[in-house]
C-alpha cells in the first residue's frame, strides 16, 4: 500500500493536523524535503503528497514534480491567506503561487477559500490544530494582573513590516495606543518578538508576554490589538473583540469589526471595542463561520420592541405612501429619459 508523503517535518504536521484529512498517521512519511533532487518518477511510490508552505520554492519544486506525473498534491494553508506576504514581502518576490499544481488547497476560512477558488483552485475547509486548537490550561511565569481595570494585549504577525515606511506607520499607531492606555487607566500588555519594535517602544520585559500559548493570555484580556494575523481567529473563538492595525494598501482576506488606520482613530476605536459594541461583535462572530465560539452569552436587547405591537398614526401612514409614489414619478421623469 502506498504511503502519504508530507514534505515538512512531523512538528509542522502536528501544527496542521486535522483528523478528517489524516485518519491514520501510520500511513504518513515526514520530511519529504530530503527527496528534493529525486526525479519525478520517484514520487509515484506515494499516493498523495502534502505541503504546508506555499512560499517555499523547494517544497513547490517537489509538488511540481509530483503533479507532472499525476500524483495527487495538496496544500494545507498555514493560516488565513496573506496577500501581502506573497506579493509585497521582498523575501518572496521570486515566488510564483500557482494554485493549479495542487489537487486541492485546504483553507481555514471561507474568505481565503473563495479567493483561491476564484483564481482556479479547488478548495476545501479544514481545522488545523495550529488555528483551532486552544490550550487554555497552562499558566506561565508572566501573569496578567487580576485587577478590575480593562486589559489590552498588543501583538503583531510574524513579519509585521517589510520596510522602514511600514515600521514607522506601525510604531506610530502603537505609540498612540500606549499613550491612550496611560490616559485611560487601561492595562496594556504586549506579545512582540521583533527587537526593533521592542526597542522603539521601550517595552518593559515583564509586560511582554512571550512565554507559552497566546490563547491563555487572550482569555484573560478584554481586547486584542494586532496587525492582520491568524491569531485573530483565536480571539473570535474566545469571543474577545479584536482590532486590526492597518498600515499598507493591500487586499485583506477578512475585515475585522474594528480597524485603526491612523493615530487620530485610536480613541474612538478603542472605546468602541472595549465596550463590545453589539453590532460589531455580531459582525466579528460571522467572520469565520466554521469557528465554534467558546462561552458565547446571548445578550438580551431590552430596548427592542416587537414590530407586531407598533402602531403608526394616519399621518405617518400617508407620508409613507406619498414618498413611495413620488420616488417612482421622480425616476420616471429624471432617470429614464
Q: Which CATH number fits the domain that encloses residue 181?
A: 3.40.50.2000
Q: State whether 111 and 193 are in the same domain.
A: no
pTM for the predicted model, two decimal places: 0.81
Q: What is the pLDDT of residue 302?
A: 46
| Cell numbers describing residue 133 | 486548537
Q: State whether 85 and 20 are in the same domain.
A: yes
Could you give the angle at the alpha carbon of 143 between the alpha carbons of 196 and 208, nearest 5°?
5
Q: State whether 167 and 267 are in the same domain.
A: yes
For 84, 207, 306, 317, 319, the CA distances from 314, given in Å and listed in that order, are 57, 63, 20, 5, 9
Residue 170 lies inside a defined structural domain of this protein: yes
Q: State whether 91 and 60 are in the same domain.
A: yes
Percent of the residues in the chain that have a pLDDT greater than 70, as a whole number: 87
Q: State whether 190 and 250 are in the same domain.
A: yes
Q: State whether 64 and 162 are in the same domain.
A: no
Q: What is the mean pLDDT of the chain?
A: 88
Q: Which of 69, 100, 132 is the last residue of a domain?
A: 132
Q: State whether 217 and 272 are in the same domain.
A: yes
Question: How many domains does the structure of the chain reveal?
Answer: 2
Least confident of 53-62, 85-94, 278-287, 326-335: 326-335
Residue 144 lies inside a defined structural domain of this protein: no
Q: State whether 169 and 123 are in the same domain.
A: no
Q: What is the pLDDT of residue 299?
A: 52
Closest CA to 54 of 23, 100, 20, 18: 100
Residue 69 lies inside a defined structural domain of this protein: yes
33 has a pLDDT exceeding 80: yes
Residue 76 lies inside a defined structural domain of this protein: yes
Q: State whether 127 and 155 are in the same domain.
A: no
Task: Name the H helices within the chain.
Answer: 10-15, 57-68, 83-87, 110-118, 129-132, 164-183, 195-201, 214-220, 231-237, 266-274, 278-284, 314-330
Give mean pLDDT, residues 305-325. Answer: 67
Q: State whether 242 and 163 are in the same domain.
A: yes
Residue 292 lies inside a defined structural domain of this protein: no
Q: Which domain holds residue 165?
A: 151-284
46 has a pLDDT exceeding 70: yes
Q: State whether 205 and 269 are in the same domain.
A: yes
Least confident of 171-185, 205-219, 267-281: 205-219
Q: Which of 103, 132, 161 is the last residue of a domain?
A: 132
Q: State whether 45 and 75 are in the same domain.
A: yes
Tell me the per-residue pLDDT of 188-237, one tens digit each, with 9 for 90 and over: 999 999 999 999 999 999 999 998 889 989 999 999 999 998 899 999 99
Summary count for the chain: helices (H), strands (E): 12, 11
CB count, 10 Å around CB of 318? 10
Q: What is the pLDDT of residue 275?
A: 97
Provide the pLDDT confidence category of residue 323 given band limits of 50, 70 and 90. confident
**Rounded CA gap, 245 and 242, in Å?**
10
Residue 201 lies inside a defined structural domain of this protein: yes
Give mean pLDDT, residues 170-186. Answer: 97
Give mean pLDDT, residues 91-97. Answer: 78
| Cell numbers describing residue 156 | 503583531
Residue 128 lies inside a defined structural domain of this protein: yes
Q: Which of 259, 284, 309 is the last residue of a domain?
A: 284
CA dihedral (247, 249, 251, 254) positive or negative:
positive
Q: What is the pLDDT of residue 70?
A: 96
* Choice between 301 and 282, residue whose per-residue pLDDT is larger: 282
Residue 209 lies inside a defined structural domain of this protein: yes
Amino acid at each position: 500500500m502506498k504511503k502519504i508523503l508530507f514534505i515538512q517535518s512531523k512538528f509542522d504536521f502536528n501544527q496542521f493536523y486535522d483528523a478528517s484529512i489524516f485518519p491514520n498517521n501510520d500511513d504518513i512519511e515526514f520530511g519529504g524535503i530530503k527527496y528534493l533532487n529525486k526525479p519525478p518518477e520517484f514520487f509515484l511510490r506515494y499516493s498523495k503528497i502534502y505541503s504546508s508552505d506555499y512560499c517555499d520554492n523547494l517544497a513547490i519544486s517537489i509538488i511540481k514534480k509530483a503533479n507532472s506525473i499525476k500524483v495527487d498534491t495538496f496544500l494545507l494553508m498555514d493560516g488565513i491567506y496573506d496577500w501581502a506576504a506573497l506579493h509585497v514581502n521582498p523575501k518572496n518576490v521570486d515566488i510564483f503561487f500557482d494554485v493549479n499544481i495542487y489537487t486541492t488547497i485546504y483553507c481555514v476560512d471561507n474568505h481565503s477559500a473563495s479567493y483561491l477558488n476564484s483564481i482556479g483552485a479547488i478548495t476545501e475547509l479544514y481545522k488545523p490544530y495550529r488555528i483551532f486548537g486552544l490550550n487554555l490550561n497552562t499558566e506561565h511565569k508572566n501573569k496578567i494582573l487580576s485587577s478590575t481595570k480593562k486589559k489590552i494585549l498588543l501583538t503583531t504577525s510574524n513579519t509585521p513590516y517589510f520596510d522602514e515606511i511600514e515600521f514607522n506607520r506601525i510604531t506610530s499607531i502603537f505609540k498612540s495606543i500606549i499613550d491612550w492606555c496611560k490616559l485611560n487607566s487601561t492595562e496594556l500588555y504586549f506579545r512582540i518578538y521583533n527587537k526593533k519594535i521592542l526597542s522603539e517602544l521601550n517595552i518593559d520585559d515583564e509586560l511582554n508576554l512571550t512565554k507559552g500559548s497566546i490563547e491563555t493570555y487572550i482569555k484573560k484580556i478584554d481586547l486584542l490589538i494586532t496587525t492582520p494575523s491568524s491569531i485573530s481567529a483565536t480571539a473570535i473563538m474566545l469571543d474577545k473583540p479584536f482590532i486590526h492595525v492597518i498600515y499598507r494598501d493591500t487586499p485583506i482576506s477578512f475585515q475585522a469589526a474594528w480597524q485603526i488606520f491612523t493615530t487620530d482613530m485610536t480613541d474612538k476605536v478603542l472605546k468602541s471595542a472595549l465596550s463590545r459594541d453589539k453590532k460589531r461583535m455580531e459582525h466579528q462572530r460571522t467572520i469565520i463561520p466554521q469557528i465554534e465560539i467558546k462561552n458565547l452569552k446571548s445578550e438580551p436587547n431590552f430596548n427592542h420592541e416587537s414590530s407586531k405591537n407598533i402602531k403608526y398614526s394616519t399621518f405617518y401612514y400617508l407620508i409613507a405612501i406619498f414618498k413611495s409614489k413620488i420616488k417612482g414619478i421622480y425616476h420616471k421623469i429624471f432617470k429614464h429619459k
